[in-house]
Amino acid sequence: MIQGAAFRILHLFVDVDTLGFAEICKKAGYGTDLGGYYLRSLVQDGFLRKVDRGQYSITPTGRHELTVTNNGRHTFVVRPRLTVLLVANIGNEYATLERTVQPYIGAREWPACSVLHGEPMDEAAERTLKLRLGLDGQPRFIGFYRRIDIIGEDFFDDKLFAVHTFEIPKDAIITERVETGKVLLTDATDLMTVHRPAKSLLDIFAYAHNEQRTPYTEHTYELSEADFAASDS
């Protein structure tokens, strides 16, 4: 399923065949880094193709996508994307991920992976632990945390995090870099002062440590262009 934020760009082609890069970013309200990220995704998935001089043209596949969503005239609604998220620790130090790819370059977040179609939750959790931290083990599921992101009045993203905790063995060797960023062990107190925390970083930390937590909670976060800028650290 096409991501809601990427569909925001595809929707610009409802009445036109070709648009330039700068015009696309301006109309979608994205910075050039984030706009480029979603354009590459749309090209890779076959919805758009890049033509001469920074121009992008919609493909038949892209037209079909607009058609099946009522000709693109209504807001594209996506179901929450199910994702395993890890709150893993060694004593009082927690494994966090500093992103090096869009979106949210430089932001500190919890290691996470999308659940594959038909994949059992426990297997998804074990895969996430291996891919993001280089460790083997069985994370413990503690509840669902839904994060809804908006920009102004526009929907941006919707994720349902299956939050898991994991006690990292003291002698474990943690992967330092993964495809989305670098892994950093951070003291629980220092989490409160990290340079660029993800919007939900501290809320999820509090959720994981709340003995009276509910099995499900959801929060809405309002984003700005500053959230997508490259880190200035």
Domain 81-228, CATH = 3.90.79.10
Lowest mean pLDDT among 8-12, 107-111, 164-168: 8-12
The pLDDT tens digits of the residues spanning 39-98 come to: 998 999 899 999 988 999 998 888 877 766 644 444 444 568 899 999 999 999 999 999
Q: Where are the domains of the chain?
A: 4-72, 81-228
CATH 1.20.120.1200 for domain 4-72: no
Question: What is the reported pLDDT for 136?
Answer: 97
The angle formed by the CA atoms of residues 117, 110 and 190, to the nearest 5 degrees, is 175
